[in-house]
Amino acid sequence: MITVDVPIPGHSYDVLVGHGARHELASVLPRSAKRAAIVTQPGVPLDLDPGIPAQRFEIGVGEEHKTLATIEALCRGFAGMGLTRHDVVIAHGGGIVTDVGGFAAASWHRGVPVVHVTTTLLGMVDAAIGGKTAVNLPEGKNLVGAIWQPSGVICDLDALATLPPRQWRCGRGEMAKYHFLTGDDLLALDEPERIARCVAIKAAVVAGDEREDPNGGARALLNYGHTLAHALEIATHHELEHGEAVAIGLVYAAHLARLLDRIDDAAVQHHYDVVAGAYELDTALPAGLDPDELVALMGRDKKAVDSLTFILDGARGVEIVKDVDPVAARQALEMMR
C-alpha cells in the first residue's frame, strides 16, 4: 500500500493506493461520522464496508446526469435519511461520481465530510484528488461547483481489473498531461507507482494553490489540454469521453503554441510522439464540428476572465497565456484537420 499525503494547509488528507485499499476505508473516515450516504452508480465494482450504518444512493451513468437536478435529488435523499454534519458522504465510482458526490456533500448543510473511493484510472490520477467538484450546464462543462476537500481518498487497484478499454484510454489522457507538466516517464513505473506519482504531482500543485488563483496560480496548469477538451465534450454531446478529449486538447495546445511562436515544430512533434505514440491515444479532431462554435465554447472556459485564455507550452515550460486572438485559436483548429 502506498500512502500519498495531500498537504493542503488546514485540509491535509491521505490518498491510499494499492490492491485491496478499500479495506482501509474506515481508517480515512472522520472519527465523528455516525452514518454514511454512499453515492454511486449501477455496475460500479467493489463492495464497500464503511463500518458504520450506510444508505446507498445511485445516480445515472453518463455526463447527461452530471447536473443540478442530480444534486437536488441527492440532497433530498440526504434530507430523507436525516444526514447531518456528524455523518459522511462516500463517493464510490469514477470521476462523475466524485464530482457529483463531492458537490452534493459541499452543498448539503453548507458542507458535510466526503471520502472518495475511486474506481477508474481517470478518477485515481485526477478527478478524485484536489477537492474540485462540479456539474455541467448546457452552456459548458463544470461551470457550477465548489472546492471541497475530501477527508481521504481510496484508490483500490482491484477495480481496474474490469475497467473497459475506453476508460483506460481516458485515464491515460490525464497521465499524458502530467508528462508535459513534469517530463516524468510515467510509463516506466509499475502501476501502483505510476498512479501514486500522478497523485503526488497533483497534490503538490494543489497544496500551493488550492482555489486556483485567477491571477496566475499554479493550479490552472493542471488544465493543460482541457480548454479545447471541455469544448469538444459539449460540442459532441459527450460522445467524446473526458480523457479522449484531453488527448486531442494537448495536441491542439501544441499547435496553438506553435502558431504563437512559443514552441518550434520539434515540440509539436513531441506532443504527437507522447500522446499518440507512447500513450496510444487518438489525436484527430472529430469531423463535422463547427470551429466557430468550438472557439465560442472555449471562450466560456473558467480560466477566461475577460479574454480567451489557454495553458500553453513555451520556453519557460507550460504556463497561462491570456488574450489569445480568436483568429489564432480558430486557425490552430484548422491546422489539425
Q: Which residues of 97-132 are buried (b: 16+ CB within 10 A; e: fewer)?
A: bbbbbbbbbbbbeeebbbbbbbbbbbbbbbbbbbbb
Which residue of the set 223, 241, 255, 258 is catalytic? 223
Spell out the alpha helix ranges (H) of the chain: 25-28, 68-81, 95-107, 121-122, 165-182, 191-208, 226-235, 242-259, 265-272, 291-298, 326-335
The answer to whether residue 212 is catalytic is: yes
Contact between 19 and 195 (Cβ < 8 Å): no
CB atoms within 10 A of CB 204: 14
Is 174 annotated as catalytic?
Answer: yes
Concerning whether 242 is annotated as a catalytic residue, the answer is: yes
Catalytic residue among 92, 226, 262, 303: 226
Q: Which of 66, 116, 179, 230 is catalytic?
A: 230
Q: For residue 141, indicate whether it is catalytic.
A: no
Q: By three-state DSSP, how is residue 99 classified?
A: helix
Residue 219 designated active-site:
yes
Of 232, 109, 251, give the one whose Cα is nearest residue 176.
251
132 is an active site residue? yes
63, 212, 233, 241: which one is catalytic? Answer: 212
Of the candidates 92, 197, 242, 271, the residue annotated as catalytic is: 242
- Crossing angle of helices 291-298/226-235, nearest 10°? 120
CA distances to 152, 175, 191 from 217, rounded to whole Å, are 24, 21, 30
Does the active-site annotation cover 179? Answer: no
The whole-angstrom separation of Cα 40 and Cα 324 is 40
110 part of the active site: yes
Choosing from 110, 237, 316, 337, the catalytic residue is: 110
Residue 239 a catalytic site member: no
Whether 226 is a known active-site residue: answer: yes
- Which of the residues 174, 233, 241, 244 is marked catalytic? 174
* Catalytic residue chosen out of the listed positions 197, 219, 255, 258: 219
Q: Which residues are catalytic?
A: 110, 132, 174, 202, 212, 219, 223, 226, 230, 242
